[in-house]
Structure 1
Amino acid sequence: MNTDKAFLVIDMQQEEGFPLHGFDRVIHNNARLLDASRHAGTPIIYTRHINAADGSDLPPGEPLDSAGRPASYRAGTRQVEIIERLAPRPGDRVIDKPRYSAFHRTELDQQLRALGVRRLIVTGVLTDACVLATVLDAFALGYRVDLIADACTSTTEAAHNAALLIMANWVYALELFSTDQYLNALSGEPHQSCRSSEPDQFAHRPEQFVATIARLQSALGLPRQEQE
């Protein structure tokens, strides 16, 4: 088994309390990456965001439903389960987390170090919440991160891209890929990616946001897309 790196799939759950941009495409890309990772013998770790059913462990201000329970990711509901198409297989690991970061109050760091993992392949949702928080903590803990941009998403494409730019600007241990380019790299074929090379390398003014996203997409080998 390849234990130099691990594939971390963040919160690809059945929660439907908010829309996710291009989610079918993200599911498809995660399925391709999971197949390739299993073929390569890479350990696979899923996270599930789960809130205590009675709301007893929620952070301040977390939305509640009319009964005073967590409005999303409530323990004991179908919504916390991994999407069926991406369901874990025997030997995969599943880590439940109570906060955005997969490292907060979990055994993820200990499990990775026990495996000898130094590099994480990261996908999942939401790019601007749990993915962002996890990548920042991974960087702080000394891991290198391969983030697969089009295997992540958020509620809007703008939010997704804003988070990608934050990470590309400041997470120096980060390498960004598209799914196609990462699969090329995994098979030893020519590929392209985007590495953080200097502080704030994608700095931009508000009116430059769309052009800066286009520059990042070009670096990843992705077709330019119209922004919301």
Structure 2
Amino acid sequence: MNTDRAFLVIDMQQEDGFPLHGFDRVIHNSARLLDASRHAGIPILYTRHINAADGSDLPPGEPLDAVGRPLSYCAGTPQVEIIEHLAPRPGDWVIDKPRYSAFHRTDLDRKLRQLGVSRLVVSGVLTDACVLATVLDAFALGYGVDLIADACTSTTEAAHNAALLILANWVYAIELFSTAQYLKALEGAPCQSCRPTEPDQFAHSPEQFIATIARLQSALGLSQREQE
């Protein structure tokens, strides 16, 4: 088994409380990455965000329904399960987490260190919440990160891209890939990626936001159509 890295699939659950931009594309790309990772012998870990059904362990301000139950990711409901097309297989790990970061109050770090993992391949949702928090914690804990940009998404394309720019600006141990380019990398073929080399590499003013996103997409070898 290839244990210098692991593939972490974040919160690809049946939760339907909010729409996700380009989610079908993310599912398709995630399936391709899972197949390639299994073929390469890369350990696979899934996370599930789960809120206690009685609302007893929610952070302050978490939205509740009329009887005090979490509005999303409620324990004991089908919505917390991994979507069927990406379902874990025997030998995969599933990490249940109560907060955005997959490292917060979980044994993820211990499992990774037992496996000898030094680099995480990350995909999933939401780019600007659980993916962002997990990657920042992985960086703080000393892991390198390969983030597969088009295997992540959020509620809007703008939120997704804003999070990518934050990570590209400040996580020095990150390398961003498209799915197609990362699959080439796994095969040992020449590939294109974005490895930040300086702080705030994608700094921009508000009116430059769209142009800066295009610059990042170009670095990843992604066309606008592939992002939609």
The Cα offsets for residues 127-155 of structure 1, whole Å up to 9 and x where unpaired, read as: 00000000000000000000000000000
Matching residue of 1:136: 136
Correspondence list, 1:2-151, <5 A: 2-151=2-151
Structure 1 Cα separation of the partners of residues 195 and 212 of structure 2: 15
Structure 1 Cα separation of the partners of residues 190 and 158 of structure 2: 29
Shift of 1:227: 9.2
Letter in 1 for 2:72: S
Letter in 1 for 2:103: F
SS of residue in 2 equivalent to 1:194: coil
Structure 1 segments (4+ residues) deviating >4 Å: 225-228
8 A Cα contact 1:210 1:227, kept in partner: no
Matching residue of 2:198: 198
The Cα offsets for residues 159-207 of structure 1, whole Å up to 9 and x where unpaired, read as: 0000000000000000000000000111111110001100000000000
8 A Cα contact 2:150 2:227, kept in partner: no
Matching residue of 2:209: 209
- When the two structures are superposed, what TM-score results if normalisation uses the length of structure 1? 0.98
Taking only the aligned residue pairs, the percentage that are identical comes to 85
* Count of aligned pairs between the two proteins: 228
SS of residue in 2 equivalent to 1:195: coil
Structure 1 Cα separation of the partners of residues 192 and 227 of structure 2: 23
Shift of 1:94: 0.2
Matching residue of 2:171: 171
Structure 1 Cα separation of the partners of residues 224 and 200 of structure 2: 22
8 A Cα contact 1:11 1:124, kept in partner: yes
SS of residue in 1 equivalent to 2:159: helix
The answer to whether structure 1 residue 183 and structure 2 residue 183 are counterparts is: yes
Structure 1 Cα separation of the partners of residues 165 and 140 of structure 2: 18
- When the two structures are superposed, what TM-score results if normalisation uses the length of structure 2? 0.98
Structure 1 Cα separation of the partners of residues 165 and 117 of structure 2: 26
The answer to whether structure 1 residue 219 and structure 2 residue 226 are counterparts is: no
**1:44/1:156 Cα in 2 relative to 1: closer, same or farther (>3 Å)?**
same
Structure 1 Cα separation of the partners of residues 226 and 102 of structure 2: 31
Q: Report the aligned-residue RMSD.
A: 1.2
Shift of 1:156: 0.2
SS of residue in 2 equivalent to 1:94: strand
